[in-house]
Amino acid sequence: MKLRLMLWVLGVLLKRALRRKARFRDRLAEMRSLDWGIATEDLAIARYYRMSPGGIETGPGLPVDLDLELRFEDTGAAVRVLGKPTQKAFLDGMMAGKVRLVGDTGDLQKLQSLLKHL
């Protein structure tokens, strides 16, 4: 339940940043769009985010056409990493096999540069 709430709140924060923060809007306009999602490996908990300068759409599940997916071993690992989403936390999680990246690492760097402006 905690992870579901965290992912829903992340969607709210993204939409709020698009409305209120000029730097976030500028970075997103430079990227044009980014479709990404977060899920547990068994897909019991999953949420996607479709971001473009025109708006942000979010919903449950993981569509197959996403640019980037962050898959976590279990909900505990997801809460630990997403609770303090530093680059080191993601790297440590990937090295330990708790986090799996599906997609291009360049998209992950774009996402991290955007999330700095939340």
pLDDT at 74: 93
pLDDT at 91: 85
Classify domain 2-115 at the CATH class level. Answer: alpha beta
What value does the mean pLDDT take over residues 12-33? Answer: 93
For the chain, the domains span 2-115
pLDDT at 44: 94
What value does the mean pLDDT take over residues 20-27? Answer: 94
In tens, the pLDDT along 41-100 reads 999 999 999 999 999 999 999 999 999 999 999 999 999 888 887 788 888 888 999 999
68/38 Cα distance (integer angstroms): 9
Q: Which residues contact 48 (CB under 8 A, 6 or more apart)?
A: 35, 36, 37, 58, 59, 61, 62, 63, 66
Query: Is residue 6 pLDDT above 90, yes or no?
Result: yes
Residue at token pair 């997801």:
78
Angle ∠(118,17,55) on CA atoms, nearest 5: 130
pLDDT at 108: 85
